[in-house]
Amino acid sequence: MLKIENLQASIDDKLILKGLNLEVKAGEVHAIMGPNGAGKSTLANIIAGKEEYEVTNGTIELNGEDISELAPEERAHNGVFLSFQYPVEIPGVSVTNFIKTAINETRKAKGLEDMPAKDMLKKIREKSELLEIDRKFLSRSLNEGFSGGEKKRNEIFQMAMLDPKLAILDETDSGLDIDALRIVANGVNKLKSKDNAVIVITHYQRLLEYIVPDFVHVLHDGKIVKSGDASLALELEAKGYDWIKQELV
C-alpha cells in the first residue's frame, strides 16, 4: 500500500528526514514512536502532502503509484487521511454537514455525482452507531468548544466516513486524557480491515495498550532505526529511547 524509500526532506533548509524507509501493507497497523523532534509529524505531513516541506530525495508510492508530486487534496482523494488535517472551528457548520461536503468534493474530483441523500444518511447512521456517537454530537458546530475527547471523536468519525485506504493518526499525546485515547483506539480497532492500513504516531506507549500494532518502528534523528512487533513498544516504555541511541553508536 505505502512504500517509502530513502526519503529525505527539509524545512527551511534544515534536513529533518535523513533517508527514511517504510513499507506498510493493506491490513496492517503500524506504530511509529520516537523522541520529541525525531521527525514523526514531519513524516506524517509529508505523506499527506503538506507543502511547507521540501522533499530532496527518495520516493513515496501509494499502491504502486508515485504520489510525491500530488497536492494534498489529490492525495486525500487517493485515500490518504491525516488526522487533524481540518482542525478549524467552523461556527454554523455541523459535524455532519462538514463531512457531507468533504465526501461530495471527493466524489466530484473523481467525476462522480453527489452521494444520494438517502445513502449519505444511511452511512452516517451506520458509522455513528459503530463508533457510538450520538445524534446531538453530529449536529454541533465543527470543533466549536470541543473538548480533547470530542475533537478525537470528530476525527475518528471523519475517518470512518471517508473510508481511507491509509489513515495516519498523529497523536502528539499532549493533553490527551485516557478517554480521548480510548476513543482513538476504539475507532482504529473498529475501522481497520484487510483493505486499509493505519499508521499511528505516538510519543508514548499508552495508546498502544489499546491499539495492538502489527509493527512498531522507532524514528530517531530522521530515520527509522529499529522495527519490531508490539513488544518493542513495551520495551521502549520500560527502557526509554537511550538504549537505542547507544546501539547506534
Residues of span 171-230 touching ligand ADP by CB under 6 A: none
Question: Cβ 172 to ligand ADP, closest distance in Å?
Answer: 7
Question: Cβ 76 to ligand ADP, closest distance in Å?
Answer: 20
| Contact partner, 69, from Mg ion, ligand ADP, none, Cβ < 5-8 Å per class | none
Question: Cβ 29 to Mg ion, closest distance in Å?
Answer: 19
Residue 105 phi/psi, 5° resolution? -65, -40
| Contact partner, 12, from ligand ADP, Mg ion, none, Cβ < 5-8 Å per class | ligand ADP
CA 179 from centroid of its chain's CA atoms = 19
Interaction between residue 87 and ligand ADP (CB under 6 A): no
Q: Select from 6, 36, 56, 59 the one that contacts Mg ion (CB under 5 A).
A: 36
User: Which positions from 26 to 65 touch ligand ADP by CB under 6 A, shown as an x/- string?
Assistant: --------x-xxxxxxx---------x-------------
Q: Select from 41, 94, 141, 227 the one that contacts Mg ion (CB under 5 A).
A: 41
Q: In what order do the strands lie in the sheet with 2-11?
A: 14-24, 2-11, 54-62, 65-66
If the CB atoms of residues 107 and 245 are measured against ligand ADP, the closer one turns out to be 245
| Contact partner, 189, from Mg ion, ligand ADP, none, Cβ < 5-8 Å per class | none
| Contact partner, 38, from ligand ADP, Mg ion, none, Cβ < 5-8 Å per class | ligand ADP
Question: Cβ 50 to Mg ion, closest distance in Å?
Answer: 13
Residues of span 123-142 touching ligand ADP by CB under 6 A: none
Give the interface with Mg ion as residue ranges (CB under 5 A).
Answer: 36, 40-41
Binding-site ranges for ligand ADP (CB under 6 A):
11-12, 16, 34, 36-42, 52
